[in-house]
Amino acid sequence: MKKTIAGIAALTIALSAFAGCTDKKNDKSTGGSAEAVTTAAQQDTTVEKTTAQDTTAAEKTTASPDDPSASAEEYEKVLREFIDAYNNEDYKKTFELTMPDGAEKVMKLLASSETMQNEYGGISEEEMIKESQESLFLGKKDGTLVPGEIKKTEPLTEEETFELRSEIAMITLCLDYIDSHGGTEGVDAEAMLNEIMDYDLEAAAAEVELDESYYITFGLENEKWDWSGDGNAIVYRVRGGSWKISANDLIGTLSGGKDKRLNTAADSLYKAANTVLIELDEEGHIKNDSDAFIVSSDSSRDFNVPADFDADLFRSRIKNYCDYEGDWFVKMQGAYALETAVFDSEKPHNVGTYPPSDYVDFAYEGMSYDEIYNKACEDIG
């Protein structure tokens, strides 16, 4: 039973990873983790070969080397279909566009498994599909996304697609098992998962062949936010299959301004603010019984600052510990920083906060910088 549950968990991770919201812009790789599965020796039928991470072939591209633009019309169509489905919160369609061909068979089996019915209280295939796609829509606010032209196309190497191929391999192993047993009607889900959990996922990932895979950058607008910038995504085609999209970076760009760089800056600002406040307290500049107040990088947006608190001194000291040069504010009380927010003036809806905006009981998820600032002022009163 434990192995079956582990198999369901691993497979769920693989399914969800295609639609995750992790920012991977710097390394052009998709989310999810092949290490989530503890593997044993693969069965004798497995072809012995080195993994994509260990082979010298890792430097070869998996895309058409001569003319990647030849397929541009096809993968641009998938991109636009995905954004249309995203705008309409069409879970089934985003599932079809982000998952390997045939993945719905696996969802049907999982939903009907004895473990899912007994251990998890029962769940339908439709509910499982929706659950696997929910990470796409975290922080989604109203507003129609409008994709622009594709600005840049970069072929991906085998090494850069290793995690993607690991996720595909998990689904492929299930589909091969289903086909070898005459279809979904003849398959016991627990038996399938128990067998697959004994496979070497790295070796299986090395067997996945991508006809083409690209990291694309394209124009993107949000009509409600009056925002425009660049979106990023991976588009790929498994050998002989249809074009798919891995939306990790796209959702990281458009969903509530989830920018890891800015969240890191907000964290750094929070630590710097507390360091400065300790210094000012030791120097006798802090009145510990003051109400909450806000000091901003823009002095015109300071709010409720005590008359005996030197906001300009605070701003100058912050530069000693935090090198972020964009706009920011710190909400504090006495000698303690409570919250921080930073934003990118070139992309005003891209905001970083500390605590993170999706933190439990933290109320800033999906808000713009101005909305966060206004709410922080309202909370102070």
Q: Give pLDDT tens digits for 197-217.
A: 778 878 888 899 999 999 898
Residues of the chain above pLDDT 90, percent = 23
In this predicted structure, the answer to whether residue 287 has a pLDDT above a threshold of 90 is no
CA distance 353 to 267: 7
Q: Give pLDDT tens digits for 139-149.
A: 565 567 888 89
Both tokens of 337, joined, read: 């920083």
CA distance 353 to 330: 10
Environment class of 181 (CB within 10 Å of its CB; exposed 0-12, middle 13-18, buried 19+): middle
User: Quick one: pLDDT at residue 147?
Assistant: 87
SS3 content of the chain, % helix, strand, coil (to 5): 45, 20, 35
User: Quick one: pLDDT at residue 248?
Assistant: 65
Query: Mean pLDDT of all residues in the chain?
Result: 75
CA distance 48 to 55: 13
Bridge partners (DSSP) of residue 235 are 214, 245
User: Quick one: pLDDT at residue 11?
Assistant: 54
For residue 83, CA distances in Å to 33, 56, 300 come to 25, 37, 39
β 227-238/210-222 pair status = antiparallel
Q: Give the range among 20-29, 82-91, 140-149, 234-243 with minimum mean pLDDT.
A: 20-29
